[in-house]
Structure 1
Amino acid sequence: MLIRQFRGSTKLFLGVLILILICTLYIEYKSRKKQTSFAMLHKQGNIKDQYKLIIVVFSAPSNLEQREAVRGTWLSENYEDVKHLFVIGTQNMEFDEHDRLASENKAYHDLLLLPNLQDSYQTLTKKLLHTFAHIYKEYNFDYLLKCDDDSFVLVDKILKEFEKQRYEALDKELYWGFFNGKAQVKRSGSWKETDWIFCDFYLPYALGGGYILSQNLVKFIAHNSNILRLFNSEDVSVGLWLAPLSNIERKHDVRFDTEYRSRGCSNEHIIKHKQNTEAMITMYQTYKASGALCVKEVKYRNSYRYNWDDPPSRCCIREPGIP
Structure 2
Amino acid sequence: MQSKGSSHRLSTMANRSRIPALFISMFATFASIYVAGRLWQDAQNRVYLIKELDRITGQGQSAISVDDTLKIIACREQHKKLDALEMELAAAKQEGFVSKGLIETNGTYSKRRPLVVIGILTKFGRRKNRDAIRKAWMGSGAALKKIEDGKGIIVRFVIGRSPNRGDSQDKDIDRENRLTNDFLILDDHVEGSQGHPEKAKLFFAHAADEWDAEFYAKVNDDVYVNIDALGATLATHLDKPRLYMGCMKSGEVFSEQNHKWYEPEWWKFGDKKSYFRHASGEMYVISRALAKFISINRSILRTYAHDDVSAGSWFIGLDVKHVDEAKFCCSSWSTGAICAGV
TM range (shorter): 0.5 to 0.7
Pairing of 1:220-235 with structure 2 (within 5 A): 220-235=293-308
Q: CA deviation at 1:151?
A: 0.6
* Partner deviation per Cα, 1:255-278 (whole Å, 9 max, x = no partner): 2233xxx2x3322321112x1xxx
Q: CA deviation at 1:82?
A: 1.4
* Letter in structure 1 aligned against 2:128: E
Residue 184 of structure 1 pairs with residue 253 of structure 2: yes
Equivalents in 1 of 2:188, 2:126: separation in Å? 20
Q: Which amino acid aligns with 2:293?
A: F
2:268 maps to 1:195: no
Amino acid at match of 2:265: D
Matched with 2:291 is 218
Are the counterparts in 1 of residues 264 and 305 from structure 2 also a CA contact under 8 Å?
no
Map 1:25-44; keep pairs closer than 5 Å. Answer: none
Write the deviation string for residues 147-177 of structure 1: whole angstroms up to 9, x where unpaired: 01111111111111223334xxx34421111
Cα deviation for residue 233 of structure 1 reads 0.3
Distance of 1:173 and 1:256 partners within structure 2: 18
Identity of aligned residues (%): 25
Q: After TM superposition, give the deviation of residue 97 of structure 1 in Å.
A: 1.9
Structure 1: tracts of 5 or more residues without a match = 1-37, 39-48, 276-323
Matched, 1:66 2:134: no
The normalised TM-score by structure 2 is: 0.60
For 1:243 and 1:90, locate their aligned partners in 2 and report how far apart those are by CA, in whole Å.
31
Distance of 1:256 and 1:221 partners within structure 2: 22
Q: Matched residue pairs, number?
A: 221
Of the three residues 245, 249, 259, the one matched with 2:318 is 245
Match of 2:338 in 1: 270
- In 1, Cα distance between the equivalents of 2:160 and 2:114? 24
Kept in 1: contact 2:162–2:190 (CA 8 A): yes
Q: If each structure's helix is expressed as a fraction of its own residues, which one has the higher value?
A: 2
In 1, Cα distance between the equivalents of 2:240 and 2:130? 35
1:187–1:204 CA distance, 2 compared to 1 (3 A): farther
Q: What is the distance in 2 between the residues matched to 1:121 and 1:155? A: 32
Q: Structure 2: which amino acid aligns with 1:265?
A: W
In 2 relative to 1, CA 131–252 (structure 1 residues): closer, same or farther, beyond 3 Å? same
Q: 2:158 is matched with which residue: 82, 87, 97?
A: 87
> 3-state DSSP class of the match of 1:207?
strand
Task: Please say if residues 162 and 169 of structure 2, whose CA atoms lie closer than 8 Å, have aligned partners that are also in contact.
Answer: no
Task: State the TM-score, normalizing by the size of structure 1.
Answer: 0.63
Q: 1:242 to 1:213 in 2, by over 3 A?
A: same
Q: 1:203 to 1:107 in 2, by over 3 A?
A: same
| Residues 61, 82 of structure 1: alpha-carbon distance in 2 compared, 3 angstrom cutoff | same
Corresponding residue to 1:155 among 181, 204, 227: 227
Question: C-alpha separation between the residues in 1 aligned to 2:222 and 2:193?
Answer: 15
- Name which of 199, 204, 221 aligns with 1:132: 204
Alignment root-mean-square deviation, CA: 2.4
Cα separation, 1, equivalents of 2:193 and 2:248: 21
Task: Give the equivalent residue in structure 2 for 1:55.
Answer: 118
For residues 177 and 121 of structure 1, what CA distance do their matches in structure 2 show?
A: 27
Deviation per residue, 1:115-159 (Å, 9 max, x gap): 232212852111112212211211111001100111111111111
Are the equivalent residues in 1 in contact too, given 2:213–2:288 (CA < 8 A)? yes
Worse overlay, 97-106 or 187-196: 187-196
**1:175 matched to 2:238:** no
Distance 1:180 1:62 in 2: 31
Distance 1:66 1:121 in 2: 22
Please point out which of 156, 174, 178 is paired with 1:102.
174
Q: 1:90 to 1:271 in 2, by over 3 A?
A: same
SS at the partner of 1:201? Answer: coil
Q: Supply the distance in 2 between the matched residues of 1:164 and 1:256 (Cα, whole angstroms).
A: 15
- Distance in 1 (CA, whole Å) between partners of 2:174 and 2:288 is 29
Matches within 5 A, 1:293-304: none
